[in-house]
């Protein structure tokens, strides 16, 4: 695959959009027919893809007897995407705030909480985390937020802890994880995060995440929150089996996924 296409996929373009824009980068003015031939995108889809690129700021139309198209400045286009993502994030946070207000004002009955389970002990949380991994049928998605219990752990401990995850990946379950960079223990962090990648997890690194989270399929989410009333172990986990919340948090996961970096991209960025 062309490096330009890979880069464009990383910033959120679809494969067809990336192929058409890459063709535009290599030539000046192109007709829709030219773009079909150069990109391999089906003729029936080409105008839809061009219009999507125009909307995203990657392409401009040059009027004439035969309409032609050319690439717009990629730096400006990507900055436009970043602004759109920030706008989407603000909308999502505002939606979360409004939903939280409705959630807080609801009439609570014991039956209405059947789909919520609160875990306060460390052992029960570890057990539930592994159970959700082992019972997943399609995918698991995780936000791994500092501080890490594994920051100073040996590789033997890491390998033992990740056995359930390795087993489900070998069965064909997709596993994706976003990790906050651990600058204080970066050598150890890089070592074990590369191990997760080696066993088949798709890994991204982010400077900051909003919370610890595991999503299992489209049905269950486990959120780890600070337990401010606890004396020692200060995390509690809320396990919610509800598709509405799960689907909303899947969108949040992919919002952060699209703006996070691969291991190699992060190390390159860190060493600049």
What superfamily would CATH give domain 107-270?
A: Endonuclease Chain A (3.30.870.10)
Q: Is residue 22 within 8 Å of 37, Cβ to Cβ?
A: no
What pLDDT, in 10s, does the model give residues 88-128?
Answer: 888 888 888 888 888 777 665 555 557 888 888 888 888 88
pLDDT of residue 109: 55
pLDDT of residue 230: 45
In the chain, beta strands by DSSP E:
59-62, 68-71, 116-119, 139-144, 174-180, 202-206, 212-216, 220-226, 235-241
Q: Is the peptide bond before 147 cis (omega within 30 degrees of 0)?
A: yes
- Domain 3-77's class? mainly alpha
pLDDT of residue 70: 92
Task: Compute how many other C-beta atoms are within 10 angstroms of the C-beta atom of residue 26.
Answer: 11
Q: What is the mean pLDDT of each run of 10 residues along the chain (272 residues)?
A: 82 90 90 93 93 91 90 87 85 86 68 74 86 90 80 73 88 93 82 90 91 90 74 74 90 92 85 71
Residue 217's region, left for phi above 0, alpha for psi from -120 to 50, else beta, is: left
Domains of the chain by residue range: 3-77, 107-270
- Nearest partner of 67 among 29, 28, 26, 20, judged by Cα: 29
pLDDT of residue 112: 55
Both tokens of residue 40?
Answer: 């391999």
Residues 6+ apart with CB under 8 A from 31: 66, 67, 68, 69
């Amino acid at each position: 695959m062309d490096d330009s296409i890979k880069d464009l996929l990383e910033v959120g373009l679809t494969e067809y959009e990336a192929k058409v824009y890459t063709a535009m980068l290599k030539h000046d003015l192109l007709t829709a027919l030219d773009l079909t031939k150069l990109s391999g995108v089906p003729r029936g889809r080409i105008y839809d893809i061009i219009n999507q690129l125009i909307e995203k700021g990657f392409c401009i139309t040059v009027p004439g007897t035969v309409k032609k198209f050319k690439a717009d400045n990629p730096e400006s286009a990507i900055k436009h995407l970043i602004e759109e993502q920030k706008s989407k994030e603000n909308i999502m946070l505002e939606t979360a705030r409004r939903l939280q207000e409705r959630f807080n004002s609801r009439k609570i009955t014991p039956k209405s909480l059947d789909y919520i389970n609160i875990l306060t002990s460390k052992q029960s949380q570890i057990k539930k985390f592994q159970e959700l991994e082992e019972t997943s049928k399609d995918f698991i998605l995780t936000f791994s937020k500092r501080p890490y219990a594994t920051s100073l752990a040996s590789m033997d401990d890491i390998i033992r802890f990740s056995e359930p995850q390795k087993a489900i990946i070998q069965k064909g379950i997709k596993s994706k994880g976003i990790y906050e960079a651990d600058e204080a223990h970066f050598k150890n962090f890089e070592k074990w995060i590369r191990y997760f990648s080696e066993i088949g997890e798709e890994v991204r690194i982010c400077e900051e995440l909003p919370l610890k989270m595991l999503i299992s399929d489209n049905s269950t989410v486990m959120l780890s929150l600070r337990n401010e009333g606890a004396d020692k172990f200060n995390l509690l986990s809320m396990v919610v089996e509800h598709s509405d919340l799960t689907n909303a948090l899947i969108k949040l996961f992919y919002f952060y996924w699209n703006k996070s970096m691969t291991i190699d991209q992060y190390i390159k960025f860190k060493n600049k």
